[in-house]
Amino acid sequence: MKLLIIEDDLVTSNYLCNGLLENYHNVDLAADGIEGLEFCFTSEYDVIIVVRMLPNIDGISIIKTLRENKIFTPISIISNLGYVNDKIESLTAGANEFLSKPFEFGGFLSIFNR
């Protein structure tokens, strides 16, 4: 499975990348919203994992831009914001999954096994 992670926090991105690589996934990593969109428009992914709050372009705007451009790759959003309204906004924008931080890697990995 080929995944894109759009995450600006180095600790979290390394944690996710290492865990996914250990589980035999191919992973690209973008450190901000602009770089993330560039990856999305130049490569195909099985899943996109995007953090809600990013430099330059936030996760919700990334999701809306992809959906407006007819890119329907499954998107999982990760956020420190765990309020119901934040989840609703993320899912309404076009995210397929919402995961609140902090999370265990096993719970994160389970979203790919559904």
pLDDT digits (tens), the chain, 114 positions? 899 999 999 998 998 999 889 888 899 999 999 999 999 999 999 999 999 999 999 999 999 999 999 999 999 998 887 678 888 999 999 999 888 877 777 767 776 665
Q: Which residues pair with 47 in a beta bridge?
A: 3
Q: Where are the domains of the chain?
A: 2-113
Q: Are 78 and 101 within 8 A, CB to CB?
A: yes
Q: Are 49 and 27 within 8 A, CB to CB?
A: no
Beta strand pairing status for 47-51 and 2-6?
A: parallel
Please report the pLDDT score of residue 83 as a whole number: 72
Residues 6+ positions from 14 with CB-CB distance below 8 Å: none
* CATH, domain 2-113, list 3.30.830.10, 1.10.260.40, 3.90.1200.10, 3.40.50.2300: 3.40.50.2300
